[in-house]
Amino acid sequence: MPDRSFRLLPLLALVAVAVSAPIAAAFVAPEPSPVPKRWQLDLKPGPLRVASVDLPGEGPRAFYYLTYSVINHTGEELDLVPSFELATDEGEVLLSGVGVPEVVTRDIMARLRDPLLEDQIAVIGRIQQGVENARHGVVIWPANDLKIDEVKVFAAGFSGENETITLTDPRTGQERRLVFRKTLMLAYAIPGDLRLELQKSRPLTEVNRRWIMR
């Protein structure tokens, strides 16, 4: 059931905890620069899929997983510290790896059969320049609700562009500072029941991809 509230989910969630209602009502999120202002890594996301994994003592549970590659063409070595969040149209926001048992990571990486693939901890570190030094990672989230219509993935840590906005509460005069990072947003449609995608083992349908400030 995608609606306007879901499309504004990342912004409203941030504003709700940082500023009062009078500020939020007049707030407009910044947009990233059309031309990168600072360094930016070449991020190549793979498909978003959902898999069932048998957990010891629990039985089968569903998990989202996304593979990606990162290439450094910036002209200098950089620290790679990626961050991935997944949000559903039901209001759930999940940080990758949280609520994901180690056995799930091992199972999914074994299925992918890619010797260059790194989990979300191992991939953190220096990334050298060039295609030959590309890093390849996988991120995983629990699929807690299988009856949803849309999910979004927010990938950050691949650009040095950020923007700080200072807002003033008109009632108290108190200032709040919000820091936005350039983030790649990936949106996926789920027609019907997510359990059907589990059975068919096919990637979710990507319907939108763009850089935002979040």
Q: Where are the domains of the chain?
A: 4-26+38-213
Give the percent of the chain with pLDDT over 70.
85
pLDDT (0 to 100) of residue 199? 65
pLDDT tens per residue across span 127-139 = 999 999 999 999 9
- Tell whether pTM > 0.85: no
- Per-residue pLDDT, 27: 60
Computed over every residue of the chain, the mean pLDDT equals 87
- The neighbour count for residue 139, using CB atoms within 10 Å, is 26
Average pLDDT in the 107-114 region?
96
* Contact (CB, 8 A) for 192 and 148: no
